[in-house]
Amino acid sequence: MFRMYLLLLLLFVYELCVSQEKINLKINLNNSDIVSLYSGVGMFSDSISIYNDTVMYVDISKNNLFYLKKDQKKYYLFITSDSMLECSFLQNDEFSISGDYANFSYFITEFYQLYKMRIHELFLLNTSSDEFEIKLYTLLNDEIFQFYQNHKSSSTFNLRSQDYFNDLLKYEYLNNLSIYLMNQTEDSLQAVPFYRDVNINLLKWNDLTNNMHDVNFHELDIFQNYIFNSLILFASYNYKYHNSDKFQLFNNYLFSFAFEHLPQEMLFFFFKNYINNFSNSLNKKTKTYLKNLLNKTELSKLEISNLLDSDNFKNEEDIHLDNSKIIESDFYLEDINGDKVSLTDFQGKLLYVDIWASWCGPCRKQFPYAKKLKDKFSKRQLKKIKFIYISIDTDYAKWKESLEKLNLDGYQFISPPDKLQSASSYFGVSSIPRYLIIDKSGNILSENAKRPSDVTLFDDLLDLIK
């Protein structure tokens, strides 16, 4: 009898513990393949692999928007601390959500399916910054808002959902605007644009400083990108950065500018992103200056170690590659059919490599010049030189769509930056377009070659193939 009472007591205690445990997400795989939960959606957030039916508590202290990814499909989830969301992967590749904010999660997924396609089309228009801003604002304020108003579930959204979506649209607007302005460069050697090339009036400094403290979005990728890009743009404007020879001094100013204005919670992300994108453009003296600054901050030792121990930061050369010769396993590359390829397939030829992306305006401006450059060579000379195009797009469909719209031929490849050993990471690409010259033995002759629009490039290439 005593054992029975003890067993009942243990069961009661167990049920009490389980009932008091915080759970806000349940995932049912139903024998489906592995899926990944992206927590935070931020640029440096980790994904969690889900192998079995799972219940968990998702930390929402710095973000409410997450997504599950299966194959190439994304299913967005809006999660709060006091809500419960249940997701199920069903047969025939179907997906269902039930519980709190289920309708809103469905809506966010549909919104991004529409929005990403439409915003990509704006970047392809290659308009002025003022025109881009007007079209972007119109898209969000008219078309997307109408989509929201007419959505079958909009009447079920509570005030919290409505406020969140309004803020999400605001940061989508500011993020894409900041991306556009960051691409206003006239020289491929520039890591950041000169202040005269940027219409800084499209961004508001007071709004930026206020938005920095919106802790509910700190781990959302579009928010992080907006803060990162905008801070660099305002630093460039305040410093009056207009000469690439002053880039190292500008960086010293930028680092201090970031420490002065960014909240503590955003510092690690900013410098992690900066080192990943621009470290190969920094000389040894500037890196030492940054290292000394970081060691004086309130960042944890683990965070500082994470920043300083990265491969990019350890590179002591000034824009110099660790490898001076291309080998087959150096970086990821695939062709339009999805087959993995290597630049070693072109060994024995001189290579002029163009690294670009479908959303890059300066890249698209160079394509007509590239065609004219290629046409200058005779058929005999073209047997000795190959023009290689490597896109760093992450969206394969948009890459292929751009090839068709821009009427691009030749050797077209893609190396998404989210792939391990991507081309952008290997070559230390901090801005595009970027051009390289590789000789017939695979040796990298120039890591920052002249643009096709440079009239002297033809003679340089001609001398090399001779």
d(CA 195, CA 273): 21
pLDDT above 90: percentage of residues in the chain: 37
Q: What's the confidence (pLDDT) of residue 111?
A: 92
Q: Which residue has the higher pLDDT, 316 or 450?
A: 450
Q: What's the confidence (pLDDT) of residue 324?
A: 52
| Longest CA span, the chain | 99
Distances in Å between the alpha carbon of 43 and those of 39, 40, 268, 274, 362?
A: 11, 9, 12, 12, 24
Q: What's the confidence (pLDDT) of residue 386?
A: 93
Position 199 confidence tier, pLDDT thresholds 50, 70, 90 = very high
pLDDT of 317 > 50? The answer is no
pLDDT of 65 > 70? The answer is yes
Position 6 confidence tier, pLDDT thresholds 50, 70, 90 = very low
Q: What's the confidence (pLDDT) of residue 8?
A: 42
Average confidence score pLDDT of the chain: 84
**Contact criterion met (CB below 8 Å) for 239 and 250:** yes
**Contact criterion met (CB below 8 Å) for 364 and 403:** no
Q: What's the confidence (pLDDT) of residue 109?
A: 92
Which letter does DSSP use for residue 333 in this model? Answer: -
Least confident range from 320-334, 360-374, 381-395: namely: 320-334
d(CA 378, CA 108): 53
pLDDT above 70: percentage of residues in the chain: 88
Smallest CA-to-CA distance from 43 within 337, 400, 401, 417 is with 417
Sign for the CA dihedral angle at 112, 115, 121, 123 comes to negative
Task: Compute the average pLDDT of residues 31-56.
Answer: 75
Smallest CA-to-CA distance from 230 within 166, 265, 280, 273 is with 273
The H or E element spanning position 354 is strand 350-356
- In the chain the domains, ranked by start, together with CATH numbers, are 19-100 (no CATH), 334-465 (3.40.30.10)
Position 278 confidence tier, pLDDT thresholds 50, 70, 90 = confident
Sign for the CA dihedral angle at 389, 393, 397, 403 comes to negative
The H or E element spanning position 49 is strand 47-50
Position 61 confidence tier, pLDDT thresholds 50, 70, 90 = confident
pLDDT of 201 > 90? The answer is yes
d(CA 127, CA 156): 38
Position 16 confidence tier, pLDDT thresholds 50, 70, 90 = very low
Q: What's the confidence (pLDDT) of residue 312?
A: 65
The H or E element spanning position 413 is strand 411-414
**Contact criterion met (CB below 8 Å) for 237 and 223:** no
Task: Compute the average pLDDT of residues 382-391.
Answer: 92
Least confident range from 11-20, 56-65, 191-200, 389-398: namely: 11-20
Q: What's the confidence (pLDDT) of residue 391?
A: 93
What pTM was computed for the model? Answer: 0.65
Q: What's the confidence (pLDDT) of residue 123?
A: 81
pLDDT of 93 > 70? The answer is yes
Position 18 confidence tier, pLDDT thresholds 50, 70, 90 = very low
- Please write the tens of the pLDDT for every residue from 137-190: 999 988 898 899 899 999 999 999 999 999 999 999 999 999 999 988 765 556
Least confident range from 34-48, 76-90, 201-215: namely: 34-48
pLDDT of 115 > 90? The answer is no
Residue with tokens 């007591």: 9
Least confident range from 139-143, 169-173, 338-342, 386-390: namely: 338-342
Q: What's the confidence (pLDDT) of residue 430?
A: 66
The H or E element spanning position 18 is helix 2-20
Least confident range from 107-121, 320-334, 408-422: namely: 320-334
